[in-house]
Structure 1
């Protein structure tokens, strides 16, 4: 029997097995990045680190960093970052061709959780779109307990969209097969989800991203994360 433990972003720390959950929107976006042909995805904690990977130290030749020609994707508080190529929107990424391009990803919640938990022997990034594959990976690993990092529970938010996803995955790891509909219903009702359905909300929080986030089991691969020490980044790959 696998014991599940749920912590918020502040409680994120290495453990034997950790699943970092970010439904809106980091780990709904990353599977699309990989599906659109990106050669690799590197998660980092700051915008400055992302730019340094692409461009090198301040004042160096643009694009001459240790990850040349990298596409920078991410946000701060949901808003696309200045100087980045993309935001953190799955619907935006799904329309692109990223074949052969490395992507450096920085977000307010999801990538922070990965960086904080990077020394875990088994580290997974997850959302509803990879829920079944994540549960299969955990079952195959035969772990005794799993820590789920509910990254949305930060900055005063309830994080219920991420908790719902964590609870669905945990139920599947335990051998149950619950109807995902009640879990998915919590996504638009969460603090974060309501921002996407606000008619007066910003254009960079499109309602269509909720649809992408609720495509349960859209991808058949889990997202396995491993530190890349020399780049001060965490690589996220299809496992």
Structure 2
């Protein structure tokens, strides 16, 4: 039987084997909407300058992301699922930088199978893990930084874990925890200018997409592409 382990963002470098890096608000919700909207692929990076370097190499690349929640100068898109799902992105390569999610992917350098996840791809992620049938799965709860509790990501991991175990589960109790998490409260209270109500709503749409978000290394950089998964009936 698969065992599940939970790590904070600071502990991500200690993970190995099958590693699922979770960022519900908003990085990997935004990434899923981008891939659904025609992006192929997404290249996650850690720093703004790294993203700009890729842009200098190929002006056709688009830059998406945030620093402390806000879109950096010269970036094409912020870290907003609402913004990205309305853009014409067919066939585009997207360079993605975020303060938590992409950092977790970079830190999980010892992973044999690396995945990004959020609620919109939770069922497909669980199905893929079931196919792998690993002895262990490591969840990286990226929201645990700067004093934040990260429960919006922890509850997503626990939801995926329950699905992998094959248990019938109602998603509502898990989704309710997003609103009581540190960052969830910020969204509901509109504490910053970058916070959009629609982003929050899109992030709570469970199992929106029938694909998961595997990440691999290619030519020294991380590459995220969607992988279609057929998954069981979920509530």
TM range (shorter): over 0.9
* Residue matched to 2:218: 228
C-alpha contact (below 8 Å) 1:15/1:117 kept by paired residues: yes
* Residue matched to 2:226: 238
Matched, 1:189 2:184: no
How many aligned positions are there? Answer: 226
Matches within 5 A, 1:32-51: 32-51=33-52
C-alpha contact (below 8 Å) 2:28/2:116 kept by paired residues: yes
Post-superposition CA distance 1:70-107 (Å, at most 9, x none):
11000111111122111100011111111121100000
For the residues of structure 2 that align with 1:85 and 1:174, how far apart are their CA atoms? 40
Q: What's the TM-score, normalizing by structure 1? A: 0.92
* Residue matched to 1:170: 161
Gaps of 5+ in 2: 228-235
Matched, 1:134 2:135: no
C-alpha contact (below 8 Å) 1:21/1:126 kept by paired residues: yes
Q: What's the TM-score, normalizing by structure 2? A: 0.93
* Residue matched to 2:207: 217
1:40 shift after superposition: 1.1
* Residue matched to 1:4: 4
**3-state SS of the aligned residue for 1:154?**
coil
For the residues of structure 1 that align with 2:111 and 2:201, how far apart are their CA atoms? 31
* Residue matched to 1:107: 98
The runs of 4+ residues in structure 1 deviating greater than 3 Å are none
C-alpha contact (below 8 Å) 2:118/2:156 kept by paired residues: yes
For the residues of structure 2 that align with 1:144 and 1:39, how far apart are their CA atoms? 31
1:234 shift after superposition: 1.1
**3-state SS of the aligned residue for 2:216?**
strand
**3-state SS of the aligned residue for 2:111?**
coil
Matches within 5 A, 1:49-128: 49-55=50-56, 65=57, 67-128=58-119
Gaps of 5+ in 1: 56-64
